[in-house]
């Protein structure tokens, strides 16, 4: 058999070029990971060693690591309860915002109603409204309904703040789905709700996962919204970000406790991103160019 001719215009890169590219990428990745590695190492070191030597000295024998820092912040500083509070805030707020945005995006993409395009432009235009300018009006509205200072207030606030970007991303992706699939479903008697749950949602899993990552990271790392709508004195509902900020003020120079608290805060977002990263690029690129 004769070898297939190489496609016109195809250029095979020299092997040294590929190795050089990989080396540069590995170097950038290593530099990017250094702060995280330093934080992890210092979180397991005693106070005396943290204040007297650099973190890199701890990675060579003799090792003197301890779990006392984590035990202290989880038990005495209330980070265990704050971690649970962050889950109660982040998971429902992420699910609510993604589902509401998915329904709205499907309507903008595949349903005909008056002023559809105008409403979509208005929703996307809310992206330019500064979040800080809405804090006091929204807080007064929530206080008038009696839900300020509760999880419900933060859920509704994060849903509202996340909807403009979420609707924009999902609408562009759903607008690029095959039109023939929805036409065939309509001919078979499927109503818009059936088409949404049976067709649009399953075909939009990559972009939904990407949006869920964005929302989860934004809400998990949020300090301002939780601080405003829950309040600094309502300690039973405070999330990790607020509690860690209070640790900075109360512990001062005890940075070995702060490193443990900070790593607890960033551990779950890392797990979520690594678990869903295969959907991340597909969803973002699809939502950016389709529609």
Per-residue pLDDT, 104: 93
Q: Are residues 22 and 81 in the same domain?
A: no
When the pLDDT of each residue in the chain is averaged and rounded to a whole number, the result is 82
Per-residue pLDDT, 270: 81
φ/ψ region of 252 (left if φ > 0, alpha if ψ in -120 to 50, else beta) reads left
Residue-range definition of the domain harbouring residue 249? 72-289
- Asked whether residue 7 is domain-assigned, the answer is no
37 neighbors 211 (Cβ within 8 angstroms): no
Give 219's DSSP letter.
H
Q: Are residues 45 and 76 in the same domain?
A: no
Q: Specify the pTM.
A: 0.79
- Asked whether residue 44 is domain-assigned, the answer is yes
Per-residue pLDDT, 182: 86
Residues of the chain with pLDDT under 50: 1-2, 9-10, 287-291
- Asked whether residue 5 is domain-assigned, the answer is no
- Asked whether residue 9 is domain-assigned, the answer is no
Q: Are residues 76 and 28 in the same domain?
A: no
The three-state secondary structure class of 147 is coil
Cα 161 to Cα 171: distance, rounded to the nearest angstrom: 17
Cα 3 to Cα 145: distance, rounded to the nearest angstrom: 74
Cα 109 to Cα 176: distance, rounded to the nearest angstrom: 9
Closest alpha carbon to 276 in 223, 224, 211: 211
Closest alpha carbon to 210 in 133, 120, 279: 279
Q: Are residues 58 and 143 in the same domain?
A: no
Q: Are residues 158 and 281 in the same domain?
A: yes
- Asked whether residue 4 is domain-assigned, the answer is no
Q: Are residues 51 and 189 in the same domain?
A: no
Give 78's DSSP letter.
-
What is the chain's length? 291
Of 66, 83, 98, which one is at a domain's C-terminal end?
A: 66
- Asked whether residue 258 is domain-assigned, the answer is yes
């Amino acid at each position: 058999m004769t070898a297939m001719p190489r496609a016109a215009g195809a250029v095979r890169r020299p092997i040294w070029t590929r190795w050089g590219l990989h080396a540069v990428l590995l170097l950038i990745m290593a530099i990017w990971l250094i702060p995280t590695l330093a934080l992890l190492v210092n979180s397991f070191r005693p106070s005396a060693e943290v204040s007297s030597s650099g973190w890199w000295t701890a990675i060579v024998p003799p090792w003197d690591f301890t779990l006392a820092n984590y035990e202290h912040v989880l038990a005495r500083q209330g980070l265990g309860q704050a971690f649970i509070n962050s889950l109660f805030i982040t998971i429902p707020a992420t699910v609510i915002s993604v589902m509401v945005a998915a329904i709205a995006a499907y309507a903008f993409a595949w349903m005909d109603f008056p002023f559809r395009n105008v409403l979509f432009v208005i929703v996307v235009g809310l992206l330019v409204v500064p979040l800080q300018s809405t804090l006091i009006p929204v807080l007064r509205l929530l206080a008038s309904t009696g839900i300020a200072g509760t999880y419900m207030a933060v859920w509704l606030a994060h849903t509202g703040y996340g909807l403009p970007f979420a609707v924009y991303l999902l609408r562009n992706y759903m607008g690029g789905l095959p039109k023939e699939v929805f036409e065939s479903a309509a001919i078979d008697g499927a109503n818009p709700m059936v088409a949404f749950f049976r067709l649009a949602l399953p075909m939009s899993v990559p972009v939904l996962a990407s949006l869920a990552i964005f929302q989860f990271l934004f809400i998990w790392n949020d300090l301002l919204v939780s601080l405003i709508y829950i309040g600094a004195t309502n300690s039973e509902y405070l999330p990790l970000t607020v509690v860690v900020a209070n640790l900075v003020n109360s512990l001062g120079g005890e940075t070995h406790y702060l490193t443990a608290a900070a790593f607890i805060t960033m551990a779950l977002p890392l797990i979520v991103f690594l678990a869903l990263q295969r959907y991340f690029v597909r969803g973002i690129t699809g939502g950016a160019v389709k529609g």
